[in-house]
Amino acid sequence: MDYKATLNLPKTDFPMKANLPQREPEMLARWEQERLYERIQEQGKNSKRPLFVLHDGPPYANGRIHIGHALNKILKDIIIKSKTMAGFHVPYVPGWDCHGLPIEHQVMKELGDKKKDLDAPAIRKLCRDYAEKY
């Protein structure tokens, strides 16, 4: 006996599996084509919605990336999207670390006593190499 026929299950058009790895590229393409983000930002600018700005810090260029970095970005993304859905105008403004001091500090620490034998251009080259390593 087929017991499935004896169950009172809801009828739905939703697929039983989301198949997100297959469906995500087409969703992203549609959002790009519709300029969804740009339209949301235009609506926010031209309305009386309250402004919410999440001050995002700089990316991490001075060490190996780890799961904490991903968690940080995911949580900020959730906040931005939930505030947008709650009726706020939420422009995403990423932070940027352009001064390079954390990188220079790490390079100088690794050089130790050898740093006094190097000139500024050599240290800058080591800093660039260090930043590009990650």
Domain count for the chain: 2
Q: Are residues 68 and 119 in the same domain?
A: no
Name the band, by pLDDT with cuts 50, 70 and 90, for residue 39: very high
Distance CA 41, CA 43 (A): 5
Hey, how many other C-beta atoms are within 10 angstroms of the C-beta on 62? 19
- The mean pLDDT value for 54-69 works out to 78
Q: Is residue 80 one of the residues assigned to a domain?
A: yes
Going by C-alpha positions, the residue among 89, 91, 86 that lies closest to residue 48 is 89
Q: Is the pLDDT of residue 105 over 70?
A: yes
Hey, how many other C-beta atoms are within 10 angstroms of the C-beta on 42? 11
Name the band, by pLDDT with cuts 50, 70 and 90, for residue 5: confident
Structure pTM?
0.60
Q: Are residues 81 and 114 in the same domain?
A: no
Mean pLDDT rounded to a whole number for the chain: 88
Cα of 27 vs its chain's centroid, Å:
18
What b/e readout covers 96-133, taking b as 16+ CB neighbours within 10 angstroms? eeeebeebbeebeeeeeeeeeeeeeeeeeebbeebbee
Q: Is residue 5 one of the residues assigned to a domain?
A: no
Q: Are residues 81 and 105 in the same domain?
A: no
Residue carrying structure tokens 């930043």: 131
Q: What pLDDT does 66 receive?
A: 86
Hey, how many other C-beta atoms are within 10 angstroms of the C-beta on 41? 16
Q: Are residues 105 and 81 in the same domain?
A: no
The parent domain of residue 128 ranges over 101-133
Q: Is residue 95 one of the residues assigned to a domain?
A: no
Q: Is residue 124 one of the residues assigned to a domain?
A: yes
